C-alpha cells in the first residue's frame, strides 16, 4: 500500500548513479555500500545510516564536495533520512545531489532521472503531490530513453509512479502500471526479489481501493508467503506487508483477522521504527478505525490521539494524513452523539484535504459524507443533502457506479430521502445500494446489513411491515455475526424490529427487543445519548399500548428532556416525542395537553421537514381525530 513506500528501499535506483573514479577508492566505497545494503535488509536503520554518512564523507574528502561521484553517496544519506521520516532533510540532500549531477552532466543525464524518482517519492510522502508529479514528468522520459519500456529499471520507476497514483486516487491507472512492472520484474528478477513483492503488495492495495477485496486479500497473502521464504528478516518490511493484509481484511469485513494482523504490524513498527514514526501512526490510525467500527470508542480515541500527535509533529499540520485522522476523530465523536465536537474536526479535515489533494480527490468522499452525517443527526437536512449529493458525485467520478464506496454514498442519500418523506426516491436508491452490495460484498459483511436496514426503514414508514421485518431480521443476523451482539448497530435494528413486533401485537417480543437495545446503548454511551432517548421513547410506547400510562409518561418525558438537551428544541426527534406525548394525553382524557403536544409536533415537523411531509400530515390527522373525540393513530409509528 502507499505507506509501504517508506519501507521499501529506493537504493536499487540510487545505486545506478555510477561515475568514473579511482578504482581503489571505488572498491572501498563499494564495500561500505554493500555493508549498508546488508544493514538495511536486517532492518538496522540507524547502523545503515551511520555507514551511509561514513561513505559520503570518504567520497567528499576524496573527490571534493561538488564532484559527480559524491552524488552517489549523498543519495544514500538522503534515503536514511527518508526511512526515518525526516523528509525535509532527505529532500535537501536529494536536491543537493541533483544539482551536482545536473551541473556535471546536464538536465537530461541518466543520473538526473534516477535522483528525481526518490525526490518525487519524498515530495509524495510530504503530501506535495503536484511537485511529485512534476518530478516524475521529468524522470520517466529519461529512464525510458536510457533503458526502454521493458527494462527492470523502468519497471522499478513505474512502481513508484504507481504509489503516487494511489495517493492521487488514480487506482485504476496504478493497477495498470503495477501489473506491467510486475510482469517485467517477475521475468527479470524472479519471485524472491523484494521489488517483485513491493509490486505485488501495491497491486493488492490498488485492487482494495477498487473494491476487489477477495483479489486484494489473495495478493497480500501471496506477498507475505514470498517474504517469509526469504532467509533474511527485515521486520519493518514485514510490518508493511502485514499492514496491507490487515487493511484487506478490514475492507472485506473480517474484523477479527484485521485486528490481530494490524496489532502485530503495530508492534513491529513500534519496535523497529519507534513510537513516533509516521508508519507507526498509520497503524495506530487504522487500528483506531477498526475499533470505531467495533464500537470500542475509548480505545479508538486514544489511538487516534496518538496518531494525530505523531502526524502533526512529523508531517506538519497540513498533510493529508492529518486530515484522515481528524476526520476519523470526527466520526468517532458523531457516533457518540457529540456533534458539536465532531463538526469542527470535519471542517479542518476538509480544508486540509482540499488544499493538499484537491476538492475532487476520492478521500474527500468520506470527509464530505461524514460532515453530512453530522448535519443529518442534528436535523440540518438541507445542509446534509448538499453534502451527500456532493459525496455521491465524488464517489461515482472516482470509483464508478458499482463500487462499494459508491454504495455507501447512495445509502446516505437514501436515508435522507426517507427522513424527508420522499419514499419513492428512497426506495429506488436503497434497492440500488443493496443490489450493489450484494454483488460486491461477502454475504456476512456488515455494510450489506446496513443497506438492508436502511431499505427496511423505507418499507416500515409505508406500513409495508412484512417486507421491513424480513430485511431487519436478515440485517440483525449479519450484524450479530460480524459486529457482535452488543454493537450499537445491533441496538438500532433491535429497536426497529421491536416496533414491528408491537405493530403485530406481540408486545412481549417488543419489550425484549427494546430492553436489549437500551442496555446496549446505555453501556456504550452512558445514560444520555440520542440513541438512549430513542429507546426510552420506544419503551414508553410499549407501556402506552399495554395501558400502563404512568410508566409511559415517565419514559416519554425522559426521552423529550434528553432530546431537547442533546439535539435542540426543534429537532424532528423532539417533534416525535411531543407527538407521542400528545397521543398518551389523548388516551388518558387530557385533551388540552394532547392538543398542545400534537400542535407542537406538527410545527416542528413542518419547519424542519416541510409542510408536505408525511409526519406533518399524520400529526394533523391526529389533531383532527382529537377534535372528533378520537385518539387518532394508536400504534406507534416507526422512525
Q: Answer yes or no: are the C-beta atoms of 125 and 136 closer than 8 Å.
A: no
| Cell numbers standing for residue 322 | 492529518
Q: Please, is 147 exposed, middle or buried when counting C-beta atoms within 10 Å of its C-beta (0-12, 13-18, 19+)?
A: middle
pLDDT beyond 60 at 633: no
Name the average pLDDT for the chain: 89
Alpha-carbon separation of residue 377 from 233, 298, 487 (angstroms)? 49, 21, 19
Q: What pLDDT shows up at residue 85? A: 73
For the stretch 23-44, pLDDT in tens is 556 667 778 777 877 776 665 6
Q: What is the C-alpha separation between 45 and 548, in angstroms, rounded? A: 71
Q: What is the mean pLDDT of residues 150-177?
A: 88
CB atoms within 10 A of CB 19: 17
* CA 206 vs CA 202, 323, 444, 610: distances in Å: 6, 21, 23, 44
> What does the DSSP assignment read for 67-114?
-HHHHHHHHHHHHHHHHTT-HHHHHHHHHHHHHHHHHHH-TT-HHHHH
Average pLDDT over residues 69-85: 84
pLDDT of residue 637: 38
Cα–Cα distance measured from residue 319 to residue 357, given in angstroms and rounded to the nearest whole number: 9
Name the residue among 447, 168, 424, 167 with its Cα closest to residue 282: 167
**Does the pLDDT value for residue 634 go beyond 50?**
no
Query: 165 to each of 32, 33, 135, 540, how far by Cα in Å?
Result: 34, 31, 13, 55
Predicted pLDDT at 5:
38
Whether 530 shows a pLDDT value over 50: the answer reads yes
More confident call, 23 vs 91: 91
pLDDT of res. 26: 64
- Percent of the chain beyond pLDDT 70? 92
Note whether 633 and 583 are within 8 A (CB).
yes
pLDDT digits over 304-318, tens only? Answer: 999 999 999 988 898
Q: Which of 12-26, 191-205, 416-430 has the highest mean pLDDT?
A: 416-430
For the ranges 14-18, 212-216, 385-389, 458-462, the lowest mean pLDDT is seen at 14-18
**Bigger pLDDT: 266 vs 398:** 266
Residue 16 has pLDDT above 50, yes or no: no
The whole-number average pLDDT for the span 540-554 is 96
Domains of the chain, start order: 1-147 (1.25.40.10)
Q: Interior CA angle at 159 toward 277 and 406, to 5°?
A: 80
pLDDT score at 13: 45
Q: Which three cell numbers stand for residue 296?
A: 470500542
pLDDT in tens, 56-68: 888 888 888 888 8
Q: Hunting for cell 532492518 — which residue is that?
A: 43
Res. 357 pLDDT band, cuts 50 70 90? confident
Cβ atoms 124, 163 nearer than 8 A: yes
**619: pLDDT strictly greater than 60:** yes
pLDDT of residue 400: 87
How far is Cα 220 from Cα 238, in angstroms, rounded to an integer?
A: 11
Q: How far apart are CA 564 and CA 113, in angstroms?
A: 63
Residue 176 CB partners (closer than 8 Å, separation 6+): none
Amino acid at each position: 500500500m502507499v505507506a509501504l513506500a517508506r519501507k521499501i528501499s529506493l537504493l536499487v535506483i540510487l545505486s545506478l548513479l555510477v561515475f568514473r573514479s579511482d578504482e581503489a577508492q571505488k572498491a572501498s566505497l563499494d564495500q561500505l555500500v554493500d555493508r549498508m545494503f546488508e544493514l538495511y535488509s536486517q532492518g538496522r536503520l540507524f547502523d545503515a545510516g551511520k555507514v551511509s554518512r561514513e561513505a559520503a564523507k570518504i567520497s567528499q574528502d576524496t573527490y571534493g564536495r561538488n564532484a559527480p561521484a559524491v552524488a552517489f553517496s549523498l543519495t544514500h544519506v538522503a534515503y536514511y533520512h527518508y526511512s526515518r521520516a525526516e523528509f525535509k532533510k532527505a529532500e535537501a540532500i536529494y536536491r543537493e545531489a541533483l544539482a551536482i549531477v545536473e551541473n556535471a552532466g546536464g538536465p537530461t543525464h541518466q543520473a538526473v532521472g534516477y535522483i528525481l524518482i526518490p525526490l518525487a517519492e519524498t515530495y509524495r510522502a510530504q503530501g506535495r503531490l503536484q511537485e511529485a508529479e512534476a518530478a516524475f514528468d521529468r524522470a520517466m522520459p529519461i529512464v525510458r530513453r536510457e533503458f526502454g519500456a521493458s527494462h527492470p529499471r523502468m519497471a522499478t520507476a513505474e512502481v513508484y509512479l504507481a504509489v503516487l497514483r494511489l495517493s492521487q486516487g488514480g487506482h485504476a491507472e496504478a493497477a495498470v502500471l503495477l501489473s506491467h512492472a510486475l510482469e517485467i520484474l517477475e521475468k527479470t528478477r524472479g519471485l524472491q526479489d523484494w521489488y517483485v513483492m513491493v509490486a505485488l503488495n501495491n497491486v493488492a492495495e490498488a485492487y482494495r481501493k477498487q473494491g476487489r477485496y477477495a483479489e486484494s486479500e489473495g495478493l497480500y497473502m501471496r506477498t507475505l508467503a514470498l517474504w517469509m521464504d526469504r532467509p533474511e528478516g527485515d521486520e519493518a518490511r514485514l510490518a508493511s506487508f502485514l499492514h496491507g493484509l490487515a487493511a484487506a481484511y478490514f475492507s472485506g469485513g473480517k474484523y477479527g483477522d484485521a485486528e490481530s494482523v494490524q496489532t502485530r504490524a503495530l508492534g513491529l513498527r513500534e519496535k523497529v521504527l519507534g513510537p513516533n514514526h509516521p508508519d507507526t501512526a498509520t497503524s495506530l490510525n487504522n487500528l483506531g478505525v477498526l475499533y470505531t467500527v467495533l464500537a470500542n470508542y475509548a480505545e479508538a480515541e486514544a489511538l487516534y490521539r496518538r496518531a494525530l500527535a505523531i502526524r502533526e509533529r512529523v508531517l506538519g499540520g497540513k498533510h493529508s494524513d492529518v486530515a484522515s485522522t481528524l476526520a476519523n476523530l470526527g466520526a468517532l465523536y458523531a457516533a457518540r452523539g457529540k456533534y458539536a465536537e465532531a463538526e469542527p474536526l470535519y471542517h479542518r479535515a476538509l480544508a486540509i484535504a482540499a488544499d493538499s489533494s484537491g476538492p475532487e480527490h476520492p478521500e474527500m468522499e468520506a470527509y464530505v459524507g461524514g460532515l453530512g452525517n453530522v448535519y443529518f443527526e442534528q436535523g440540518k437536512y438541507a445542509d446534509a443533502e448538499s453534502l451527500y449529493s456532493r459525496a455521491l458525485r465524488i464517489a461515482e467520478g472516482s470509483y464508478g457506479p458499482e463500487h462499494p464506496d459508491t454504495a455507501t454514498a447512495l445509502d446516505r442519500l437514501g436515508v435522507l430521502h426517507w427522513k424527508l418523506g420522499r419514499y419513492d426516491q428512497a426506495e429506488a436508491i436503497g434497492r440500488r445500494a443493496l443490489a450493489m452490495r450484494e454483488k460486491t460484498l461477502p454475504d456476512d459483511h456488515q455494510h450489506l446489513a446496513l443497506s438492508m436496514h436502511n431499505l427496511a426503514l423505507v418499507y416500515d414508514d409505508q406500513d409495508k411491515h412484512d417486507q421491513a421485518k424480513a430485511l431487519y431480521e436478515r440485517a440483525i443476523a449479519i450484524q450479530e455475526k460480524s459486529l457482535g451482539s452488543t454493537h450499537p448497530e445491533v441496538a438500532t435494528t433491535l429497536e426497529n424490529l421491536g416496533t414491528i413486533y408491537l405493530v403485530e401485537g406481540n408486545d412481549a417480543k417488543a419489550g425484549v427487543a427494546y430492553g436489549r437495545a437500551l442496555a446496549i446503548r446505555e453501556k456504550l454511551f452512558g445514560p444520555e445519548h440520542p440513541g438512549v432517548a430513542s429507546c426510552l421513547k420506544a419503551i414508553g410506547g410499549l407501556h402506552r399500548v399495554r395501558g400502563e400510562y404512568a410508566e409511559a409518561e415517565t419514559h416519554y418525558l425522559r426521552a423529550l428532556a434528553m432530546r431537547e438537551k442533546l439535539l435542540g428544541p426543534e429537532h424532528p426527534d423532539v417533534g416525535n416525542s411531543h407527538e407521542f406525548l400528545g397521543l398518551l394525553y389523548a388516551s388518558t382524557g387530557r385533551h388540552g395537553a394532547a392538543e398542545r403536544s400534537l400542535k407542537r409536533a406538527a410545527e416542528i415537523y413542518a419547519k424542519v421537514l416541510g409542510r408536505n411531509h408525511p409526519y406533518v400530515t399524520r400529526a394533523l390527522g391526529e389533531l383532527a381525530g382529537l377534535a372528533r373525540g378520537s385518539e387518532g393513530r394508536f400504534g406507534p409509528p416507526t422512525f
